[in-house]
Amino acid sequence: MNMIISYYSVTNGGKTTLTNKLIKTLPNCCVVHQDDFLKKPDQIEVGDDGYKQWDVITALDMEAMTNTVKGWMENPVKFARSHGIPLAPLSEVTDPENQTHILIVEGFLLYNFAPARCFSKSYYITIPYEECKRRRSERNVN
């Protein structure tokens, strides 16, 4: 059985913290971070306000992200091995053919691109405005 779990939230909304806890707990668990598909800085549009527009769908290579998810769907064992993800030992699995594999897809604009919506379960993480504002103000942007 294979399962794709997705969750999205604002930038600094706790997605990576949740992901890090889940991958320590769940066996055969791989992760796709939408942030890993941000385009290079020179490819990011500048808005009317003079700032680069990082929080828009055009700042992301969504086709590459979709292909990555499809790669996991085609062969989660091969995907895990190629990404250095340890798999549960077969001795712990009663039926290797029915071994569960999980893919976590996390990001801030997951549902703005129709081909990426192939998830078994989806969650929206909310945080209070003041907490989001505090986290963003403490963010170290290089």
Residues marked active site are found at: 35
Among candidates 82, 116, 129, 119, which has minimal Cα distance to 5?
A: 119
The strand pairing partners of 7, in sequence order, are: 106, 123
- CA–chain centroid gap for 133, Å, is 22
Among candidates 27, 42, 139, 1, which has minimal Cα distance to 92?
A: 27
Distance CA 117, CA 39 (A): 21
Find the distance separating the first CA and the last CA of the chain, reported in whole Å: 41
| Residue in the block written with tokens 């604002």 | 10
Q: What are the structure tokens assigned to 141, written together? A: 């942007």
Helices (H), 1-142: 15-25, 62-74, 76-82, 129-138
